[in-house]
């Protein structure tokens, strides 16, 4: 079929590459075939296909079938080759390998040679020249950009407190200490000799505190409440308002504002000699993205010395011996893969490095792990050993889906000898006497004393069967029953009746931050004055009263009838108790352990139990004594978290990565595991615990010197220290609801140090400048952009609650070559438009002109012929 | 067959298609219409409340839009008992006991559904679960809705515990189920229903007042995590106004619980009428709320895919049979579809207060709208070229597919929400629109490329558009009249293959420029948003990959002998890569662009 729209098919080629034959006389010799090769369009196509495949594999990975039924999703496996052991590359690294760089170079050479040799620079082919030139300029810009790229982030905390502590300075004068304003931070300052010390603790921070006084009423500011514990006298809370020092005032816990208390005579402050001011908290560093470094310092020193770790894996675990870790469930032998990365100081010129001259190697890496202490049979001569039982409980009523609940019980440790809310107990009897003593005090005893008017008080001792408490009876009556259905028993001769609601043995609770093991009986009393609940502890000082139905002794309500006295002595048995030890083995053939339980009728029973044996506790509940270790030593190792239990964000951020570092060599070598720190700061108060842990690891070197090690990211200096002047949260209508969708923008107003040591206070800093989302700030070759914010959060283990807005997270990076890249892009876009839409018009006009001239010539010829 | 018989056959075929599409439309409308739901549900009139404003997560939206959004967190894309979502919201709030054993919680994961059903099956067969039959379990496996009571069964609890521990595969589904159970609690539903505007003079960052606060007063603030939240303005509400609103709401609740529809309607009408008067300045335009309500009642107009379907069928017939009447009907249907599509987009724009391109639903529907606009422009330029109608066909097919996805896939959530803060930028409108318009063109080019492949499959020769391809064919069109006058036979001699190939090239060239320009614009935005123009994020890489496919296409066309076939295959592959980028990268592979 012929296309009559295009009368000269041999002369036209499609845009954009108006490729013609090689038009210059080619060089001779070896250069010619090379030039011919790089003039080839086919080579260009092949290189682009390779680039496509490389990009696809690096970014999306591979999907391949492992089963015959390809329509079943389970038959497919998704793999990310760049994360395989031989590569261990991040996305950024995958796209900067030698292969990728060579590929890009070949494409550029191909583009250049083919353009010069094949495409004449004419009006018609100007578009192709622009496109190809633009791509090459973009590539040149990218070489500059990526070869100089530095990218990271930093945390800038909003304020620190400057505290003038009286009597703590030299000669009894005042001493100024700093305290970074982050929830939970505290500082202890020794006072003059013999008078104890001061403690200052951030009690709370209110980032949007509304002023209620004077002309400033209604304005909002950043408010910090500091709990001050003086060496002598009552503690108080000082409230300091940012920008309003005139409103600083003290509050006495439980009494209110100081100036309203008579004994302070209208003064706002408890102790005017304690001066607390708010000031900036400068940040002078940022941490490089996807980097790794070992930070080292001599114990007692403040500054870290940094050793970059090059080539550290990110995605696979590397250990060289099984004893290095606790493997995840299902692995008896965890795959061994040795690692050896030299991080000795040879490559570093830091003379003050405390490990200078000490061989240092990274010998292990774990992608996601947590240090966990476990018990192992102790070697002979181990200094501290303990009897330990490992048990598991299965509830078959949950069917096949039921999983075993495991517990490790340490007989000598009151905090760890019970499990499952005190339902299971482990006792170790060393002698026959101990066994007899144990058997004589199996049941807990509640003693009640009720005074009577004009008569001897009534005393009643109640031996409690822990399996027959009112709570269990109530639960046994089904969902419809409530606690009122369980009757009270009257104490004869009195108007007091009671019931034992619950008994708990060896419950570990936290008291003022310390774990304390307690046993208690929960007893409900009914007297003419009313009904109340009492938690009777084995330690009488902890006994509390509450209202009926209260679930715990969280508050002490006065009992309606205080006459009743109660004491409690815990029994040696829990609902299920494992007893083991030499005291049990007085006779040959004695069992390794015995299990004490009660029958459904409440009869106490004991039976032998051997390791590995499963024993029924109830119709569908069984107990297995997995392991009994008479002499166990506690060993801490990183536990590899199974992939299915890893939090995706934490995994990506490497929050739970660990490295094993070997210090020294030969027999003197010692290895330690170090957890990853997102920010390697000098002390724990400098970083919010929600952002990064702070767990430097002390290591004693031969010779007694102790150094601290920390695994983190590489830290770089900012061109100038930066401070956070204020932080603004702009919200959508209705204000912040807790959802990001209710936020319109975050704005950090920052100031940079002018660099003049002579300037003090606010004058030392540049004027505040905003950084918000999509609105970065350029400063001395670096761009600062809004990366994350301090969101409010509830309390969670190890991390105090926070109202937020105490710091800002800024991204930091350079951008050399960006303008060259942009120019190349714009040129190529312009070239495409020219090649696709301008060139055809030019060519069409030329064709029409030729046609017109041909037609005119023909007409002229015809005219001449006619003439 | 003579020409009359052929024409009759064509008309009969056309009529059959129209009838089939109409039947499909009626079936869909019947499926989505408000059911009777028994006496009370049918008698209750929620129209006054549907047009009332509710404050939620930084937006003020109509009640039924809000209810649909909330119910999507509980029942997913399903309706509970076939009842409308606004009714279900209020019923869950006011008669929660009815939902203890109602199948209302959506379990998205099919494997989890099967495991739950299997765990419950033994108890069902043993007759231990009153009211639960095998059919109900089968319906659960199919639809995904299950009751709170069944989820709390001891047979299910260990499964949930196990799934909660698998953070990679199943924990998120457990979170969704637990979120649904928490959301459907009457206290949550009452606290979330912030329907009373704050009193006059309140700053804009003050939340609206919930029906729970109307009854119980301001909730205690849980410090410090809630420190940044503004306190409820309930205490500043005029006492008389508050009393009237509380009284109307209580009357409505009592009547609802008693299934007294007349009394409930009266109380609700009174309650809704009083709301704008609380703070007329803060209260949004009532007509906007009404339009928002209508927009969602009309199913976000995603059923427009049916009109596009009609258009596709007739335009295909016109291509296949060279039947001019089919072409006219097809173009008419396309125009009508486009107008409806434009109305849908305009309505959403007006309701949301921003150009709709900030989430997946909006990007998909707006992308193909851009495609339709470009098709109309190109059709105008190509009206005399042999390629005419192919652009409309490509746009209609792409729009039909996109709107069908928006209609049927629950992942494309049509609820209107605020955009993420990072998207509050001018470049959202520049970069995103250029990119999604190029995506639409890529899809349209794949349609004509597909036609080329079919043509080749049916025996067509290795023809392709000559010269500069599509653009020159468009330019040629301007000369067609003159050419036709001088040599009509030759002008008609362009093969179908060359025409399909030319149309593919026209769209491919345009998408090539727009895609590259869009990538560059994205890099400029990323530079000032994230501090680097290019970070090898999967979305960036696959946009580049799509572009690479087109680079290969252009250069293969220089050397390949069978240019048309190579072009068609690479256009289809390019579309596949684009769809991979849009679907798999967005939903499966996490990256910085996951909200896009």
Cα separation of A841 and A708, whole Å? 73
> Band of the pLDDT at A31, cuts 50, 70, 90?
confident
Q: Smallest CA–CA separation between A790 and chain B, in Å?
A: 11
Cα separation of A88 and B475, whole Å? 53
Mean pLDDT of B516-544: 92
First to last CA, chain B: 54
Q: Which residue has the tokens 């996805």?
A: B405
> For A125-137, b where at least 16 C-beta lie within 10 A, e where not — what string?
bbbbbbbbbbbbb
> Band of the pLDDT at B286, cuts 50, 70, 90?
confident
Q: Which residue has the tokens 């028994």?
A: B38
Q: Is the pLDDT of residue A257 over 60?
A: yes
Q: Is the pLDDT of residue B315 over 50?
A: yes
First to last CA, chain A: 40
Q: What percent of chain A has a predicted confidence (pLDDT) above 90?
A: 51
> Band of the pLDDT at A641, cuts 50, 70, 90?
very high
Mean pLDDT of B507-513: 95
pLDDT of residue B88: 95
Comparing B528 with B523, the larger pLDDT belongs to B523
Q: Smallest CA–CA separation between B108 and chain A, in Å?
A: 16
**Closest listed residue to residue B167, CA positions, set A778, A614, A303, A649:** A649
Q: Smallest CA–CA separation between A239 and chain B, in Å?
A: 16
- Tens of pLDDT, residue by residue over B67-90, are 999 999 999 989 998 899 999 999
> For A201-222, b where at least 16 C-beta lie within 10 A, e where not — what string?
bbbbbbbbbebeeeebeeeebb
Q: Is the pLDDT of residue B262 over 60?
A: yes
pLDDT of residue B36: 47
Indicate the domain borders of chain B.
Answer: 419-587
Asked if A19 lies within 8 A of B558 by C-beta distance, the reply is yes
Mean pLDDT of A8-21: 43
Look up residue A509 and give its two tokens.
């609770």
Are the C-beta atoms of residues A461 and A615 closer than 8 Å to each other? no
Asked if A41 lies within 8 A of B559 by C-beta distance, the reply is yes
Which chain A residue has its CA at the smallest distance from B545's CA? A52
pLDDT of residue B333: 94
Return the DSSP state at B432: I
pLDDT of residue B199: 93
Comparing B487 with A235, the larger pLDDT belongs to A235
Q: Is the sign of the CA dihedral B581, B586, B590, B596 positive or negative?
A: positive
pLDDT of residue A3: 35
Mean pLDDT of A63-84: 81
pLDDT of residue A14: 43
Which chain B residue has its CA at the smallest distance from A787's CA? B530
DSSP string of A697-732?
EEEEPTTS-EEEEEEE--EEEEEEEEEEEEEEEEE-
Best of B160, B464, B479, B532 to substitute, by most chain A Cβ atoms within 10 angstroms, is B532
pLDDT of residue B528: 86
The least confident of A267-281, A438-452, B84-98 is: A438-452
- Tens of pLDDT, residue by residue over B87-137, are 999 999 999 999 999 999 999 988 899 999 999 988 888 887 888 888 999
Q: Which residues contact A266 (CB under 8 A, 6 or more apart)?
A: A259
Q: Smallest CA–CA separation between B565 and chain A, in Å?
A: 16
- Tens of pLDDT, residue by residue over A145-203, are 999 999 999 999 999 999 998 887 777 788 899 999 999 999 999 877 666 789 999 99
Mean pLDDT of A511-535: 83
Are the C-beta atoms of residues A278 and A159 closer than 8 Å to each other? yes
For residue A13, list chain B residues with Cβ-Cβ distance below 8 A. 558
Instruction: Quote the strand ranges of A291-421, DSSP E.
Output: 293-298, 305-308, 341-342, 360-366, 369-377, 386-395, 405-410, 418-419
Q: Is the pLDDT of residue B472 over 70?
A: yes
Q: Is the pLDDT of residue B308 over 90?
A: yes
Dihedral of the alpha carbons of A330, A336, A341, A342, in degrees to the nearest 10 = 120
Best of A5, A48, A118 to substitute, by most chain B Cβ atoms within 10 angstroms, is A5
Are the C-beta atoms of residues A430 and A582 closer than 8 Å to each other? yes
Look up residue B54 and give its two tokens.
């509710």
Q: Which residues contact B415 (CB under 8 A, 6 or more apart)?
A: B65, B68, B69, B72
pLDDT of residue B54: 96
What ipTM describes this predicted complex? 0.87
Comparing B101 with A587, the larger pLDDT belongs to B101
- Residue of B169, B417, B529 lying closest to A773 (CB–CB): B529
- Tens of pLDDT, residue by residue over B202-233, are 888 899 999 999 988 877 666 666 777 888 89
Q: Is the pLDDT of residue A435 over 60?
A: yes
Look up residue A107 and give its two tokens.
């494409």
Share in percent of chain A as helix, strand, coil (round to 5) = 25, 35, 40
Best of B228, B445, B576 to substitute, by most chain A Cβ atoms within 10 angstroms, is B228
Comparing A340 with A473, the larger pLDDT belongs to A340
Q: Which residues contact A811 (CB under 8 A, 6 or more apart)?
A: A151, A152, A153, A783, A784, A785, A786, A787, B530, B531
> What is the bridge-based pairing of β-strands A197-210 and A544-546?
unpaired
Cα separation of B567 and B547, whole Å? 14
- CA-to-CA separations, B464 to B256, B316, B420, B468, in angstroms, rounded: 69, 20, 46, 11
Q: Which residues contact B525 (CB under 8 A, 6 or more apart)?
A: A774, B425, B427, B430, B431
SS3 A539: coil
Residue length of chain B: 596
Q: Smallest CA–CA separation between B466 and chain A, in Å?
A: 7
Asked if A774 lies within 8 A of B590 by C-beta distance, the reply is no
Best of A7, A20, A59 to substitute, by most chain B Cβ atoms within 10 angstroms, is A59
Indicate the domain borders of chain A.
Answer: 9-152, 157-281, 292-368+641-713, 377-428+575-632, 445-569
pLDDT of residue B593: 54
pLDDT of residue B103: 94
Return the DSSP state at B420: P
Q: How many Cα atoms within 13 Å fall on the side-chain side of residue A562?
A: 5
pLDDT of residue A765: 95
Which chain A residue has its CA at the smallest distance from B156's CA? A398
pLDDT of residue B547: 97
For residue A744, list chain B residues with Cβ-Cβ distance below 8 A. 58, 421, 424
State which H helix or E strand residue A637 sits in: strand A621-640
State which H helix or E strand residue B67 sits in: helix B63-75
pLDDT of residue A481: 46
- Tens of pLDDT, residue by residue over A234-253, are 899 999 999 999 999 999 98
Mean pLDDT of A771-776: 94
Q: What is the mean pLDDT of chain A?
A: 87
- CA-to-CA separations, A165 to A184, A761, B519, in angstroms, rounded: 20, 20, 59
Q: What is the mean pLDDT of chain B?
A: 88
Cα separation of A623 and A630, whole Å? 19
Look up residue A367 and give its two tokens.
């992608």
Q: Which residues contact B339 (CB under 8 A, 6 or more apart)?
A: none
Residue length of chain A: 867
> What is the bridge-based pairing of β-strands A544-546 and B59-62?
unpaired
Comparing A833 with B385, the larger pLDDT belongs to A833
State which H helix or E strand residue A161 sits in: strand A159-165
HEC secondary structure over B174-243:
HHHHHHHHHHCCHHHHHHHCEEECCCCCCCCCCCCEEHHHHHHCCCCCCCCCCCCCCCCHHHHCCHHHHH
Comparing A394 with A835, the larger pLDDT belongs to A835
Please state at what angle helix B563-587 crosses helix B433-457, rounded to 10 degrees.
130
Q: Is the pLDDT of residue B480 over 70?
A: no
Q: Is the pLDDT of residue B373 over 50?
A: yes
> Band of the pLDDT at A59, cuts 50, 70, 90?
very high
Asked if A826 lies within 8 A of B533 by C-beta distance, the reply is no
> Band of the pLDDT at B587, cuts 50, 70, 90?
confident
Asked if B158 lies within 8 A of A403 by C-beta distance, the reply is yes
Cα separation of A89 and A74, whole Å? 27
Cα separation of B180 and B193, whole Å? 16
pLDDT of residue B487: 53
Are the C-beta atoms of residues A179 and A224 closer than 8 Å to each other? no
Q: Which residue has the tokens 């200094």?
A: A383
Most confidently predicted of A519-533, A795-809, B224-238, B366-380? B366-380
């Amino acid at each position: 079929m012929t296309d009559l729209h295009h009368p000269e098919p041999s002369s036209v080629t499609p845009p954009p590459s108006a490729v013609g034959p090689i038009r210059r006389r080619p060089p001779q010799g070896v250069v010619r075939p090379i030039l011919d090769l790089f003039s080839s369009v086919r080579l260009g196509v092949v290189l682009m296909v390779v680039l496509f495949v490389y990009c696809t594999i690096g970014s999306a990975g591979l999907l391949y079938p492992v089963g015959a039924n390809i329509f079943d999703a389970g038959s497919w496996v998704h793999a990310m080759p760049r994360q395989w052991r031989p590569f261990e590359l991040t996305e950024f690294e995958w796209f900067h390998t030698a292969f990728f760089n060579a590929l890009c170079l070949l494409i550029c050479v191909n583009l250049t040679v083919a353009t010069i040799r094949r495409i004449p620079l004419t009006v018609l082919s100007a578009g192709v020249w622009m496109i190809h030139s633009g791509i090459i300029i973009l590539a040149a810009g990218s070489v500059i950009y990526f070869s100089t790229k530095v990218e990271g982030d930093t945390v800038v905390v909003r304020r620190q407190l400057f505290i003038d502590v009286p009597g703590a300075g030299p000669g009894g004068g005042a001493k100024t200490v700093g305290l970074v304003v982050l929830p939970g931070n505290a500082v202890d300052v020794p006072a003059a000799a013999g008078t104890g010390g001061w403690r200052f603790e951030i009690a709370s921070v209110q980032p949007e505190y509304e002023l209620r006084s004077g002309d400033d009423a209604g304005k909002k500011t950043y408010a910090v409440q500091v709990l001050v514990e003086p060496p002598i006298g009552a503690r108080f809370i000082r409230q300091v308002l940012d920008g309003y020092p005139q409103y600083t005032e003290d509050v006495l816990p439980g009494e209110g504002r100081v100036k309203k208390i008579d004994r302070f005579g209208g003064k706002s402050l408890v102790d005017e000699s304690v001066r607390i001011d708010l000031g900036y908290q400068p940040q002078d560093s940022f941490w490089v993205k996807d980097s790794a470094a070992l930070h080292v310092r001599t114990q007692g020193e403040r500054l870290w010395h940094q050793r970059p770790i090059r080539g550290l894996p990110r995605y696979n675990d590397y250990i060289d011996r099984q004893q290095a870790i606790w493997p995840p469930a299902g692995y008896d032998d965890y795959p061994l893969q040795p690692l050896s990365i030299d991080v000795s100081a040879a490559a570093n010129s830091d003379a003050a490095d405390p490990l200078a001259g000490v061989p240092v190697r990274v010998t292990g890496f774990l992608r996601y792990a947590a240090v966990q202490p476990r018990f192992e049979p102790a070697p002979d001569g181990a200094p501290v050993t303990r009897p330990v039982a490992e048990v598991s409980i299965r509830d078959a009523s949950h069917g096949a889906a039921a999983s075993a609940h495991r517990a490790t019980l340490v007989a000598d440790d009151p905090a760890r000898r019970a499990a499952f809310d005190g339902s299971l107990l482990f006792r170790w009897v060393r002698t026959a006497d101990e066994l007899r003593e144990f058997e004589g005090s199996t049941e807990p005893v509640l003693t009640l004393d009720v005074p009577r008017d004009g008569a001897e008080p009534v005393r009643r001792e109640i031996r409690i069967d822990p399996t027959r408490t009112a709570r269990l009876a109530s639960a046994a009556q089904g969902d419809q029953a409530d606690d009122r259905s369980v009757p009270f028993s009257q104490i004869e001769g009195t108007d007091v009746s009671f019931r034992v609601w619950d008994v708990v043995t060896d419950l570990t609770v936290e008291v003022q931050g310390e774990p304390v093991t307690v046993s208690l009986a929960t007893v409900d009393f009914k007297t003419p004055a009313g009904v109340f609940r009492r938690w009777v502890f084995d330690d009488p000082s902890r006994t509390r009263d509450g209202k009926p139905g209260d679930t715990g002794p969280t508050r002490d309500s006065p009992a309606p009838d205080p006459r009743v006295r109660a004491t409690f002595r815990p029994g040696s048995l829990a609902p299920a108790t494992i007893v083991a030890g030499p005291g049990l083995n007085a006779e040959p053939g004695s069992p390794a352990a015995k299990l004490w339980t009660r029958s459904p009728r409440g009869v106490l029973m004991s039976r032998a139990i051997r390791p590995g044996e499963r024993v029924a506790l109830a119709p569908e509940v069984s107990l297995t004594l997995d392991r009994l270790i008479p002499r166990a030593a506690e060993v801490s190792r990183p536990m590899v978290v199974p992939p299915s239990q890893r939090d995706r964000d934490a995994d990506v951020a490497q929050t739970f990565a660990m490295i094993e570092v070997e210090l020294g060599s030969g027999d003197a070598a010692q290895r330690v595991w170090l957890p990853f720190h997102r920010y390697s700061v000098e002390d724990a108060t400098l970083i919010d615990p929600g952002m990064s842990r702070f767990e430097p690891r002390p290591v004693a070197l031969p010779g007694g010197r102790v150094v601290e090690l920390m695994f983190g990211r590489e830290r770089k200096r900012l061109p100038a220290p930066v401070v956070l002047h204020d932080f603004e949260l702009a919200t959508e209508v209705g204000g912040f609801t807790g959802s990001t969708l209710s936020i319109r923008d975050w704005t950090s107003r920052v100031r940079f140090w002018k660099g003049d040591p002579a300037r003090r206070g606010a004058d030392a800093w540049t004027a505040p400048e905003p950084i918000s989302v999509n609105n970065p700030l350029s400063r001395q070759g670096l761009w600062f952009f809004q990366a994350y914010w301090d969101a409010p959060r509830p309390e969670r283990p190890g991390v105090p609650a926070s109202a937020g807005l105490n710091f800002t997270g800024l991204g930091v990076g350079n951008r050399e070559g960006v303008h060259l890249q942009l120019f190349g892009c714009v040129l190529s876009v312009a070239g495409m438009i020219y090649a696709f839409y301008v060139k055809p018009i030019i060519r069409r006009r030329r064709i029409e002109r030729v046609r017109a001239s041909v037609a005119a010539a023909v007409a002229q010829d015809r005219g001449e012929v006619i003439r | 067959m003579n020409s009359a018989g052929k024409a009759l056959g064509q008309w009969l075929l056309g009529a059959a298609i129209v009838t089939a599409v109409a039947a499909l439309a009626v079936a869909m409308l019947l499926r989505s219409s408000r059911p009777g739901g028994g006496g009370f549900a049918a008698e209750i009139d929620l129209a006054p409340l549907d047009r009332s404003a509710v404050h939620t997560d930084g937006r003020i939206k109509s009640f039924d839009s809000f209810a649909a959004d909330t119910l999507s967190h509980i029942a997913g894309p399903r309706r509970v008992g076939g009842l409308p979502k606004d009714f279900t919201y209020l019923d869950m709030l006011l008669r929660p006991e009815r939902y203890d054993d109602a199948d209302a919680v959506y379990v998205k994961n099919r494997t989890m559904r099967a495991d739950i059903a299997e765990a419950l099956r033994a108890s069902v067969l043993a007759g231990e679960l009153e009211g639960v039959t095998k059919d109900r379990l089968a319906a659960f496996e199919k639809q995904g809705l299950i009751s709170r009571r069944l989820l709390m069964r001891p047979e299910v609890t260990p499964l949930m515990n196990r799934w909660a521990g698998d953070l990679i595969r199943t924990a998120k589904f457990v979170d969704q189920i637990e979120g649904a159970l928490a959301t459907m609690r009457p206290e949550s539903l009452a606290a979330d229903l912030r329907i009373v505007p704050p009193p006059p003079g309140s700053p804009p960052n003050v939340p609206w007042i919930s029906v729970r606060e109307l009854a119980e007063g301001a909730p205690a603030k849980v410090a410090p995590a809630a420190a940044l939240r503004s306190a409820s303005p309930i205490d500043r509400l005029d006492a008389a106004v508050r009393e009237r609103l509380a009284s109307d709401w209580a009357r409505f609740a009592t009547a609802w619980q008693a299934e007294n529809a007349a009394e409930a309607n009266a109380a609700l009408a009174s309650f809704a009428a009083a709301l704008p008067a609380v703070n007329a300045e803060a209260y949004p335009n009532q007509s906007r709320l009404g339009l928002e309500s209508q927009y969602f009642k009309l199913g976000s107009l995603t059923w427009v895919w049916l009109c596009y379907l009609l258009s596709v069928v007739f335009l295909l017939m016109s291509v296949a049979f060279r039947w001019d009447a089919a072409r006219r009907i097809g173009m008419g249907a396309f125009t009508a579809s486009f107008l409806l599509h434009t109305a849908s987009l305009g309505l959403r724009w007006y309701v949301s207060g921003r150009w709709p391109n900030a989430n997946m639903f909006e990007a998909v529907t707006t992308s193909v709208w851009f495609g339709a606009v470009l098709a109309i422009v190109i059709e105008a330029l190509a009206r005399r070229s042999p390629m005419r109608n192919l652009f409309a066909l490509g746009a209609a097919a792409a729009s039909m597919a996109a709107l069908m996805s928006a209609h049927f896939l629950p992942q494309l959530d049509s609820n209107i929400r605020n955009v993420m803060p990072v998207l509050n930028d001018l470049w959202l409108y520049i970069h995103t629109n250029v990119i999604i318009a190029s995506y639409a063109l890529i899809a349209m080019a794949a349609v004509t490329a597909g036609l080329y492949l079919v043509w080749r499959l049916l025996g067509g020769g290795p023809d392709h558009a000559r010269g500069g391809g599509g653009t020159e064919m468009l330019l040629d069109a301007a000369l067609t009249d003159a050419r036709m006058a001088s040599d009509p036979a030759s002008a008609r001699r362009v093969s179908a293959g060359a025409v399909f190939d030319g149309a593919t090239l026209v769209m491919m060239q345009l998408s090539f420029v727009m895609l590259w320009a869009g990538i560059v614009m994205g890099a400029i935005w990323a530079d000032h948003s994230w501090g680097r123009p290019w970070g090898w994020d999967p979305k960036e890489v696959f946009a580049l990959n799509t572009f690479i496919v087109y680079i290969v296409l252009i250069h293969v066309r220089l050397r390949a002998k069978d240019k048309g076939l190579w072009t068609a295959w690479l256009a289809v592959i390019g579309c596949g890569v684009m769809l991979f980028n849009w679907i798999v990268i967005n939903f499966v592979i996490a990256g910085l662009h996951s909200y896009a």
